[in-house]
Amino acid sequence: MKVAKFGGSSVASVEQLEKVYQIIAADSARRFIIVSAPGKRYSHDIKITDLLINYAECCLTKQSVTEVQQAILNRYLDICKPAGLENTFGQIKQAVLNLVDLPTDNEQLVYDTFKASGEDNNAHLVAAYLTSKGIPSEYLSPKEAGIVLEHSPHGAMINMGGKELSPDILAKQVTYVIPGFFGFSEDGQLCTFSRGGSDISGSLVAANIKADLYENFTDVDAIYCANPNLIPDCPTLKELTFKEMRELSYSGFGVLHDEALIPTFYANIPVVIKNTNNPSSPGTMILPDSHATEKRVVGIAADSGFTNIYLSKYLMNREFGFGHSVLNILTEFDLQYDHMPSGIDDISLIMRQDQLTPDIEKRLIERFKTVLHVDEIKVTHHLSMIALVGEGMKQNIGVASRATHALSINQVNIEMLNQGSSEVSIFFGVNEADEDRAVKALYEEFFVM
Amino acid sequence: MKVAKFGGSSVASVEQLEKVYQIIAADSARRFIIVSAPGKRYSHDIKITDLLINYAECCLTKQSVTEVQQAILNRYLDICKPAGLENTFGQIKQAVLNLVDLPTDNEQLVYDTFKASGEDNNAHLVAAYLTSKGIPSEYLSPKEAGIVLEHSPHGAMINMGGKELSPDILAKQVTYVIPGFFGFSEDGQLCTFSRGGSDISGSLVAANIKADLYENFTDVDAIYCANPNLIPDCPTLKELTFKEMRELSYSGFGVLHDEALIPTFYANIPVVIKNTNNPSSPGTMILPDSHATEKRVVGIAADSGFTNIYLSKYLMNREFGFGHSVLNILTEFDLQYDHMPSGIDDISLIMRQDQLTPDIEKRLIERFKTVLHVDEIKVTHHLSMIALVGEGMKQNIGVASRATHALSINQVNIEMLNQGSSEVSIFFGVNEADEDRAVKALYEEFFVM
């Protein structure tokens, strides 16, 4: 069995739904479909989710809701009418209008419920649509699909003890359409993920039914090996491992939610990124590490906005627990570091610049001075981190040599180099001004024959 | 003014003292002389310090002391007699014999006092010797030389608030001979350094008198740029900076006590390592960083016996304070790490293997698993760390490239690479079996034209 998730743009119009139908019809293993709420049809279009947020606001502030209700209903009508789904539209209309009757004492719950209705109504719609096209389909609630979540202020948390589906559901010869983006906690509370969370819903269902494959249909053909805005005709990746995908997370690879891969990662289920608008393209397969067939450098990720705080103290390495004391102070300041390379008498903290206001930075430096009695502190802003990623790096003599050579002949000074923590990546710290040149140099070295 | 320290082998015999005299006579700026106790004259000789430890043992255990007293006195007599210093010998003899009258209730103090007498008597001897040769010289006690120490069970600690010398002492036109290795705390308690601590005494005196140079006379011509046992005709270093010296401390550069450089480092006083037996050789100059004149790779240090503990956890980098939690556990186990490189979802701890018994390692791994819920732990033993060191690395595009290329063509797999923490070094982790090949490869690349 396969789980297929269709994002907002894939279900934004009846034309898009036709493509979804074709995709599902082409493979009878696609029996669990997760849908987002209808997204944008063109660049200035408004997503249903955003309309619903506006709708909730109007309700909470006792403003008129007529206009926004109409805008929402029009989006559904634009799909239902040409598809001949008048009955379904009637049900959706009632559901949308009923939202005004929700108690408004729990503001967060109001927003969550309004937003979740976008996916919920759309799952009903898509099920009806597929049925009308000859694929017997039924709406399946997140609860029936075994999704159990935990509430958290920053978006629902995955409860890893996901549930198996009932044998009756599994046995029934229908295609199930499940709303993404939300679910319920054990005690019945509605929980929503942060934006893009339908990816997580699909991943959870894939794990729950022990799917053979989780297909994530989006609007790009595949994942690029580098930033396509920087590299003309940048090649896409046929496959990469979960580990590689994570190491590439620094940039340009934001196709999937980080959390979205957790359930499939732990359930050892491959994930494929495909394009609803070009389903014949093979897409990018994300494989459990052990399934990787190609051992090579797969990608280059880069991100700017890093700061390096360099601490030096004579005989530092004779001082027990110096690094620990450094991290105690970071924790005290609620700061997170990305890398902490150390020499004999020095240690560097490479961290996201946006955490450090000038005031925080000043107080942090002061604290390092007074608590750690360091001899020297140097702060370097505007660094970029570049990750060269690939299982091919493992035990591969010469990757570091080729990479540093490529940077060197392109006049890129390496401020930091970190290899060996991860077996599938090398990190380079360079000046932001050198970032693009560095990425191009590495691309030329490893991807151009 | 210069401070000159002469180690045990430099003052082991009257022939050696003649060399010391020649050195001091050659430069009138050498006015503060620090001496160790007479050391070995040949490889199976016994140092006076070891005889004194034996003497203390005999006293504490009420055994006969006659034999060991005689052995000690013979060493001094062997110097005093040919030098015609009968009076001095008489005083030393009395001092050595008087040691038996010390109260024995504080065992540590007994050992310290016996050992310190080796340097103390020798300072008297050398002062008398120099005077007899025509250089007016006087014994100067550690206290008069401004040495103030703090007692600690692992050897005396430097009290950084060293004292200036009295104007009377500074004004007197004599050469001062100061015993190394010991001093007194503010409240008058005798404190001794760990072995080799005369280097520290000299450094403290240099800082106290704001010397222009601290000359450390030993029995090697200079510091080698790599392990001379591995590299035939290995070149020596004309100069290096304090920072470089520290980064090289991994191995083969144990000429000076680590602590010995602290006072001169903070006082910005250059240090030179010279050979008593070949004083015309320029030796190796250790300069404050700012004084460095040559920007190049200066040396290669290597040491074996490292272990890498690799921890991997999906979405680790989204978990606040993960690295901190890792170090909390290390501290709990009283373990120290050398490097902690990190990727996106993994972190490696590179540490000295000798800290980890199989039992400690097992319990540590267990703790990482239960507290941090890591997905994977891998332990790799038998790693060597190699440091490529030099101020020349700073802002020098291409050093990493040349180094990795050299390792690569010599079939050395780089398990870890860490550049950028220190501005003057790059660290490589390799398998112990590859260590020698790696050092040779780097030597060929950076030191052979």
Q: Chain B contacts of A344, Cβ < 8 Å?
A: 246-247, 249-250, 387, 422, 425
Q: Inter-chain contact A421–B242, Cβ cutoff 8 Å?
A: no
B359 CB neighbour count, 10 Å cutoff: 8
First to last CA, chain A: 39
Residues A350/A415, Cβ–Cβ less than 8 Å:
no
Q: Chain B contacts of A421, Cβ < 8 Å?
A: 310, 341-343, 346-348, 416
Q: Which long-range contacts (CB under 8 A, 24 or more apart) does B89-93 make?
A: B91/B124, B92/B121, B92/B124, B92/B125
Ligand-binding site membership of B139 (annotated)? no
Tokens 């595949």 belong to residue: A222
In the prediction, which pLDDT does B197 show? 87
- Identify the CA nearest to A417 among candidates A395, A442, A392: A442
Task: Determine contact: B411 vs chain A, CB below 8 A.
Answer: yes
Question: From the CA of A39, how many Å to the nearest CA of chain B?
Answer: 28
Residue of A247, A266, A331, A344 to mutate, testing the B interface (most B Cβ within 10 Å of its Cβ): A344
In the prediction, which pLDDT does A272 show? 96
pLDDT cut 90: percent of chain A above it: 71
Q: Chain A contacts of B420, Cβ < 8 Å?
A: 308, 341, 348, 414-418, 429
In the prediction, which pLDDT does A344 show? 85
Q: What is the dihedral of CA B66, B70, B72, B77, to 10 degrees?
A: 160
Q: Which token pair is A319?
A: 């001082």
Residues B178/B205, Cβ–Cβ less than 8 Å:
yes
Residue type, B414: I
Structure confidence at residue A179 as a pLDDT band (50, 70, 90): very high
Mean pLDDT (whole number) for A25-48: 96
Task: Determine contact: B417 vs chain A, CB below 8 A.
Answer: yes
In the prediction, which pLDDT does B318 show? 76
Q: Chain A contacts of B338, Cβ < 8 Å?
A: 317, 342
In the prediction, which pLDDT does B367 show? 96
For residue B397, what is the nearest residue in chain A, using CA coordinates?
Answer: A413
In the prediction, which pLDDT does B356 show? 95
- Identify the CA nearest to A69 among candidates A87, A52, A57, A45: A52
Q: Chain A contacts of B336, Cβ < 8 Å?
A: 320-321
Q: Inter-chain contact B310–A421, Cβ cutoff 8 Å?
A: yes
pLDDT tens digits for A363-419?
999 999 999 999 999 999 999 999 999 887 766 678 888 999 999 999 999 989 988
The ipTM, to two decimals, is 0.82
> CATH class for domain A2-287?
alpha beta
Ligand-binding site membership of B186 (annotated)? no
Per-residue model confidence as pLDDT tens for chain B (449 residues) = 999 999 999 999 999 999 999 999 999 999 999 999 999 999 999 999 999 999 999 999 999 999 999 999 999 999 999 999 999 999 999 999 999 999 989 999 999 999 999 999 999 999 999 999 999 999 999 999 999 998 877 778 776 666 889 999 999 999 999 999 999 998 899 999 887 789 999 999 999 999 999 999 988 888 889 988 899 999 988 888 888 888 887 664 566 777 788 899 999 999 999 999 999 999 999 988 766 566 678 899 999 999 999 999 988 877 888 999 999 999 999 999 999 988 888 899 999 999 999 999 999 999 999 999 999 999 999 999 999 998 877 666 788 889 999 999 999 999 899 887 777 889 999 999 999 999 999 999 999 86
Q: Which long-range contacts (CB under 8 A, 24 or more apart) does A317-320 make?
A: A317/A344, A317/A345, A317/B249, A317/B338, A318/B258, A320/B336
Contacting A residues, span 359-388, partner chain B, CB-CB under 8 Å? 387
Cα–Cα distance, B423 to A200 (Å, whole number): 43
In the prediction, which pLDDT does A159 show? 67
In the prediction, which pLDDT does A75 show? 96
In the prediction, which pLDDT does B342 show? 87
Please give the model's pTM, rounded to 2 decimal places: 0.83
Within chain B, all domains assigned CATH 3.40.1160.10 are found at 2-287
Q: Chain B contacts of A261, Cβ < 8 Å?
A: 314
Say which CATH superfamily domain A299-448 falls into: VC0802-like (3.30.2130.10)
Q: Which of A40-54, A149-163, A298-312, B347-361 has the lowest mean pLDDT?
A: A149-163
Diameter of chain B by CA atoms?
79
Nearest to B324 among A247, A331, A398 (CB): A331
Pairing type for strands A30-35 and A175-179 reads parallel
In the prediction, which pLDDT does B250 show? 67
Q: Chain A contacts of B345, Cβ < 8 Å?
A: 243, 246-247, 422
Question: Which DSSP state fits B259?
Answer: G
Which residues, in sequence order, are CB contacts of A357 under 8 Å at separation 6+?
none
Which residues, in sequence order, are CB contacts of A182 under 8 Å at separation 6+?
A112, A115, A116, A119, A120, A142, A156, A190, A191, A192, A193, A197, A201
Where residue B268 falls (left for φ over 0; alpha for ψ -120 to 50; beta otherwise) is left
Q: Inter-chain contact B417–A416, Cβ cutoff 8 Å?
A: no
Cα separations in angstroms, A173 against A120, A167, A201, A391: 22, 12, 22, 41
The dihedral through the CA atoms of A134, A140, A145, A148 has a sign that is positive
Q: Inter-chain contact A418–B420, Cβ cutoff 8 Å?
A: yes
- DSSP H stretches of helix in B154-227: 167-171, 198-208
Radius of gyration of chain B (CA): 25
Within chain A, all domains assigned CATH 3.30.2130.10 are found at 299-448
Helix (H, G, I), strand (E, B) or coil at B187: coil
Ligand-binding site membership of A119 (annotated)? yes
Task: Determine contact: A318 vs chain B, CB below 8 A.
Answer: yes
Q: Exposed, middle or buried, A75 (CB in 10 Å: 0-12/13-18/19+)? A: buried
Structure confidence at residue A22 as a pLDDT band (50, 70, 90): very high
A77-102 burial code (b ≥16 CB/10 A, e <16): bebbeebebeebbeebbeebeebeee
Mean pLDDT (whole number) for A429-438: 96
In the prediction, which pLDDT does B432 show? 97
pLDDT tens digits for A265-318?
999 999 999 999 999 999 999 988 766 566 678 899 999 999 999 999 988 877
